[in-house]
Amino acid sequence: MREMDLLLGGFADDRIADLTDAELDDFEALMEAPDGDLLDWFTGKVDVPETYDTQVYRDIFAFHARKADQTH
C-alpha cells in the first residue's frame, strides 16, 4: 500500500541511520505487518497490539504528527 510505503519510508529516510540494532528490529517487524493493520493502528481505528507498540512505532507516529503540524 502506497500510504504505508510513505509512512514508513519517510521516517526511514530521515531516521534510519540513528536507529539502534534493537530499534531496527522493531522497524523491520512493523514493515512485515500487514498494511491494513498498520493503517488501522496509525489512524487510530484500532489499538496497536502490545507486540508492535514499541518506541519506534511511537517515534514514527510522532514524526508524522510533527510533519503534519508544520504544514498547517
What is the pLDDT averaged over residues 11-22? 96
User: Taking each helix axis from N to C terminus, what angle separates 2-15 and 21-32, rounded to the nearest 10 degrees?
Assistant: 170
Q: Is the pTM of this model over 0.75?
A: yes
Q: Is the pLDDT of residue 50 over 90?
A: yes
Question: What backbone torsions phi and psi does residue 20 show, to the nearest 5 degrees?
Answer: -75, 170
Q: Which domains does the chain have, with CATH numbers?
A: 2-71 (1.10.150)
Q: What's the pLDDT tens digit per position in 18-29? A: 999 999 999 999
pLDDT of residue 13: 94
pLDDT of residue 66: 84
Identify the residue with better confidence: 65 or 68.
Answer: 65
- In 1-65, at which residue ranges do the beta strands (DSSP E only) sit? none
Q: Is the pLDDT of residue 69 over 80?
A: no
Apex 42 CA angle, 38 and 48, nearest 5: 70
